[in-house]
């Protein structure tokens, strides 16, 4: 696409809406490109000193509810001299029309061209969004390679969980932020503001250098990678004297000081989640060895029960949502979860507001919690994640749940009126055998049997959902080999046969799974280094878009691109995926510090292979993962001793509120 004739900054003040609007009747779901949602903000372009375009690199229906982007959007727009607008991935039908008619990648808020912003921030929760990033960069008229960009182009900053190993996209991004974004975006904004106020001295290079000097923004161009003859990395070193050897993650310690989103975006088009979501704590100490989120978000930081109550009240009043999601990696682990749920259930009794805990640990779920969650009569689905089918494999992954625990918990749900539970497992875990996977069928059968016995009813169901294991950076499994897709697919097939081997039980069990192919590609991207960038670009050039969507994903396209680009470097797809790493190998992300001690991770990997379980350090003495001392912090949990009620009465939307004095 040819670049606009006017300078990008000047052009961005103009809306592309007049060019875009005539195209919308020709595409599916045109409403996703319109903007103007409740909660959206449009600010005066000329009054802003710093301008951000924020992207979640997926379709609007997936991107709009994304909590991270919503929080940053609100935090930035609260600054008087800063504006932030949102952009999402456009579907291929609109992409083709935009190319034909010369319409650039635009924001949904004021339909401004993305290329005119100072900073283009992209939040990745999965690596499969990389090709969508390339589409957006190209449609924006921004040079694909960071090395080719000029002062006229925005600084492209990656964030989100996948940014903990940004090496596969190092050629395409200017910078990456590890960890929490709230304070990081304010720091970046201040640096950009000051640099612009000084007349942009030293150009783009100087701005990136100032970001790199913070030691918490990673700028790939300032680091060189040397390789050994066998393809492994020899070292990653700064190529300038004033750049740090290691870049550290950001951690927002006091969540009560950051009660966002206060004004949640209310979508116009249907989205994957329509609820007011409150993150009740960050971090996890359970130590599941496959779980990158649990490892990289340490330490645990809880929001207090009073802040949660206030956020729910204000968020519902603003948005009119009728569901409240209490989010975290393991919500039932909050030290005040019982009081929180009973307080909220009491607060909204007799209204249409329902509560949900999206992820519930088997051993933290109890009958009181179950009853509070269903007090308003609406029972949202219950999902439990044993992850592994056999006791042995659960020891390997450190998921400390027994079969008896699971059966007891699910029966509790059935006897309290739930008719449907979902059980989530993984396939392809380290040391896994066919037998480990077949035990999933046995567990599902027992769940149905026990449920029928306890309720005296045949009207109960359970869905078994299987995801493929992907080894992730900064976890004990970062050294593990992956299984080949045909092995995964064989195990999924024999599991299905085992579930259906008993017709009367099999009928009550739903079965959903992801085959092995997308997982292998996600594995290539999650543990790749800079050489993998050539694969991503080739896939994109060959039409790769929306790789996280099964109907758009093409395994063959990735295999072909890897076969075409990687041999030049002396490596191949298997080298990145099915190969086990050795202890002393330099991993592509070793210079990026998640706070975890690499020796501790290696020891935990050894413990895993010997099936040794590690306790939860929230309740037991510290076992030296490294996070607290390296970040000069400690786990922050309650209880605060406060109760949720009474809150001041709500206005406007007809929700009755208990008068003060009706507290517990």
Classify the C-alpha dihedral 95-97-100-101 as positive or negative.
negative
What is the pLDDT of the chain when averaged over all its residues? Answer: 91
Q: Which two tokens stand for residue 194?
A: 């000051």
pLDDT value of position 641: 74
Q: What is the CA radius of gyration of the chain?
A: 25
pLDDT, position 650: 43
| Predicted confidence (pLDDT) at residue 388 exceeds the cutoff of 90 | yes
Helix (H, G, I), strand (E, B) or coil at 480: coil
Residues 120 and 425: their CA atoms lie apart, in Å, by 36
Q: For the beta carbon of residue 530, count every other beta carbon within 10 angstroms.
A: 20
Indicate the angle between helix axes 533-541 and 555-565, nearest 10 degrees.
130
Quick: pLDDT tens for 419-478: 899 999 999 999 999 999 999 999 999 999 999 999 999 999 999 999 999 999 999 999
Token pair 């005539």: residue: 22
Give me the pLDDT at residue 364, please.
Answer: 63
Among 115-124, 208-217, 373-382, 443-452, whose mean pLDDT is lowest? Answer: 373-382
d(CA 290, CA 476): 7
Task: Render the burial of 11-44: b for 16+ CB within 10 Å, e for the rest.
Answer: bbebebbebbeebbeebeeeebbbbebebbbebe
Q: Give the pLDDT confidence score for residue 659 in this predicted structure.
A: 32
pLDDT for residue 620: 73
Better-scored residue on pLDDT, 633 or 490: 490
Provide the pLDDT for residue 10: 62
Residues 289-314: b if buried by 16+ CB within 10 A, e if exposed: bbbbebbbbbbbbbbbbbbbbbbbbb
pLDDT tens-place string over residues 575-602:
999 999 999 999 999 999 999 999 999 9
Backbone torsions φ then ψ of 562, nearest 5 degrees: -65, -40
The pLDDT of residue 637 is above 70: yes
The answer for residues whose C-beta is within 8 angstroms of residue 30's C-beta and 6 or more apart is: 24
- Per the confidence metrics, is the pTM higher than 0.85? yes
Which architecture does CATH list for 16-248? 3-Layer(aba) Sandwich (3.40)
Give 661's pLDDT tier (boundaries 50, 70, 90): very low
pLDDT tens sequence across 617-635: 777 777 788 888 876 777 7
pLDDT value of position 380: 63
DSSP summary character for residue 31: G
Percentage with pLDDT > 90 across the chain: 76
Summarised one tens digit per residue, pLDDT across range 313-354 is 999 999 999 999 999 988 888 999 989 998 998 889 888 898
Highest mean pLDDT among 355-359, 535-539, 604-608: 535-539
- Bond into 304 cis (ω within 30): no
Distance CA(250)–CA(663), nearest Å, equals 38
- Cα separation, 107 vs 73, in Å, equals 12
């Amino acid at each position: 696409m040819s670049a606009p004739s006017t300078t990008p900054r000047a052009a961005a003040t103009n809306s592309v809406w007049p060019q875009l609007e005539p195209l919308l009747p020709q595409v599916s779901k045109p409403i996703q490109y319109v903007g103007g949602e409740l909660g959206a903000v449009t600010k005066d372009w000329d009054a802003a000193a710093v301008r951000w375009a924020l992207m979640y690199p997926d379709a609007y229906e997936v991107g709009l509810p994304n909590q991270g982007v919503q929080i940053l959007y609100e935090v930035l727009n609260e600054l008087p001299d800063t504006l932030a607008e949102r952009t999402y991935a456009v579907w291929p039908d609109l992409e083709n029309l935009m190319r034909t008619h010369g319409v650039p990648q635009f924001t949904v808020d004021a339909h401004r061209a993305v290329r005119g912003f100072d900073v283009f921030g992209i939040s990745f929760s999965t690596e499969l969004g990389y090709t969508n990033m390339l589409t957006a960069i190209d449609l924006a008229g921004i040079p694909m390679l960071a090395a080719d960009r000029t002062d006229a182009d925005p600084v492209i900053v990656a964030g989100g969980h996948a940014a903990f190993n940004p090496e596969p996209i190092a050629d395409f991004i200017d910078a990456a932020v590890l960890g929490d974004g709230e304070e990081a975006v304010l720091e970046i904004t201040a640096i950009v503001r000051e640099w612009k106020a000084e007349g942009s001295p030293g150009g783009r290079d100087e701005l990136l250098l100032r970001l790199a000097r913070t030691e918490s923004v990673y700028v790939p161009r300032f680091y060189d990678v040397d390789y050994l003859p066998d393809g492994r990395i020899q070292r990653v070193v700064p190529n300038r004297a004033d750049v740090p050897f290691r870049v550290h993650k950001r951690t927002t310690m006091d969540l009560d000081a950051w009660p966002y989103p206060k004004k949640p975006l209310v979508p116009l088009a249907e989205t994957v989640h329509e609820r007011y979501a409150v993150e009740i704590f960050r971090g996890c100490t359970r130590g599941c060895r496959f779980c990158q989120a649990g490892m990289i978000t340490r330490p645990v930081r809880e929001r207090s029960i009073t802040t949660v109550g206030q956020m729910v009240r204000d968020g519902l009043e603003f948005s009119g949502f009728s569901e409240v999601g209490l989010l975290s990696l393991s919500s039932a682990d909050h030290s005040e979860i019982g009081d929180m749920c009973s307080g909220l259930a009491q607060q909204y009794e007799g209204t249409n507001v329902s509560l949900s805990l999206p992820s519930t640990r088997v051993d933290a779920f109890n009958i009181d919690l179950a009853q509070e969650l269903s007090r308003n009569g609406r029972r949202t689905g219950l999902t439990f994640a044993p992850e592994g089918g056999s006791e042995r494999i659960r020891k390997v992954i450190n998921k400390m749940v027994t079969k008896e625990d699971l059966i007891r918990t699910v029966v509790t749900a059935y006897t309290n009126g739930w008719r449907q539970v979902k059980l989530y497992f993984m396939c392809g875990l380290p040391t896994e055998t066919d037998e480990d996977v077949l035990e999933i069928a046995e567990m599902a059968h027992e769940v149905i049997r026990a449920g029928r016995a306890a309720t005296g009813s045949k009207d109960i169901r359970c869905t078994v959902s299987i995801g493929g294991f992907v080894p992730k950076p900064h976890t004990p499994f970062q050294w593990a080999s992956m299984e080949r897709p045909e092995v995964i697919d064989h195990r999924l097939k024999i599991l299905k046969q085992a579930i259906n081997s008993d017709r009367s039980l099999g009928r009550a069990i739903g079965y959903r799974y992801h085959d092995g192919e997308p997982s292998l590609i996600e594995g290539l991207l999650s543990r790749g280094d800079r050489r993998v960038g050539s694969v991503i670009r080739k896939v994109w050039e060959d039409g790769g878009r929306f790789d996280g969507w099964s109907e758009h994903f093409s395994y063959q396209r990735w295999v072909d691109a890897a076969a075409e680009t990687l041999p030049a470097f002396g490596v191949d797809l298997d080298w990145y995926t099915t190969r086990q790493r050795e202890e002393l190998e330099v991993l592509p992300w070793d210079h990026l510090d998640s706070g975890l001690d690499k020796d501790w991770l290696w020891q935990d990997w050894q413990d895993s292979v010997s099936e040794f379980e590690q306790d939860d350090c929230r309740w037991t003495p510290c076992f030296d993962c490294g996070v607290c001392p390296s970040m000069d912090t400690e786990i922050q949990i309650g209880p605060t001793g406060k109760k949720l009620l009474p809150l001041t009465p709500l206005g406007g939307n007809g929700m009755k509120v208990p008068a003060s004095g009706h507290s517990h």
